[in-house]
Amino acid sequence: RKPEARSMVGSGVANTGSYSSAAIAPGQIVSLFGLNIGPTADVQTMIENNRVTTVNANTRVFFDGVPAPIIFGTRGQINVMVP
């Protein structure tokens, strides 16, 4: 089966609280917007060993090779904490 095409929408990354697409920093929660970028069904935060997981429904997000904790995910939006 051929994987579905994925693409970012607009600037693609925005502050989750203000939707500002200015610079991001470690510890900030950001939203990524796109087409087919997340899981087919909505997923919520998963906790393992008192930490938010960096893999949820086979979805992962990396910043410079460092996995980001996933707060929420769906096909068109993923909210993560910048590591």
- Residues 70 and 52 sit within 8 Å (Cβ to Cβ): yes
DSSP letter (8 states) at residue 26: T
| pTM of the predicted model as reported, rounded to 2 decimal places | 0.84
In the chain (83 residues long), the average pLDDT of successive 10-residue segments reads 61 80 89 88 93 92 93 93 95
**Token pair of 74, please?**
């769906």
Task: In whole angstroms, give the CA distance from residue 46 to residue 53.
Answer: 6
What is the reported pLDDT for 7?
64
